[in-house]
Amino acid sequence: KAGVTQTPRYLIKTRGQQVTLSCSPISGHRSVSWYQQTPGQGLQFLFEYFSETQRNKGNFPGRFSGRQFSNSRSEMNVSTLELGDSALYLCASSSGPAGSTEAFFGQGTRLTVV
């Protein structure tokens, strides 16, 4: 069974640009959640999608958005990038709502904003 796949693995963007990250969950998993990890703040919850619906959202500005497609693949978008958005972005998939069942994490996308 293929694991959680995140693309791209590395990305360099300029301040003010926008970026889209992709996450393909494990086959059969309907829940995808996104997290930001920085050295200062650690891991922080961004949002969670279940069956194409955003179920929960963390405390991030509206520049951070996401969506989930009918095949459960999810994308995360960050507009008007700031230097502070440089981070490792992780997604996790699970068969049930995030945190209620075992989560499987992707390798992450390391975003650098210059």
- State the residues that interact with another protein by CB under 8 A: 33, 35, 37, 42-45, 48, 55-58, 88, 90, 92, 97-105, 107-108, 110
- Note whether 47 and 34 are within 8 A (CB): yes
CB of 37 to another protein, least distance (A): 8
- 8-state DSSP, 81: -
Position of tokens 């069942």? 101
Residue 97: asked if its preceding bond is cis (omega within 30°), the reply is no
Task: State which residue, 48 or 70, has the beta carbon closest to another protein.
Answer: 48
Shortest Å distance, C-beta 16 to another protein: 26
Least distance (Å) between residue 92 CB and another protein: 8
Q: What is the DSSP letter of 16?
A: T
Question: Which residue lies nearer to another protein by CB, 57 or 63?
Answer: 57
Half-sphere exposure of 107 (CA within 13 A, CB side): 8
Give the separation between CA 73 and CA 5, rounded to whole angstroms: 10
Least distance between another protein and beta carbon 33 (Å): 7
Q: Which is nearer to another protein, 47 or 81 (CB)?
A: 47
Smaller CB distance to another protein: residue 20 or 107? 107
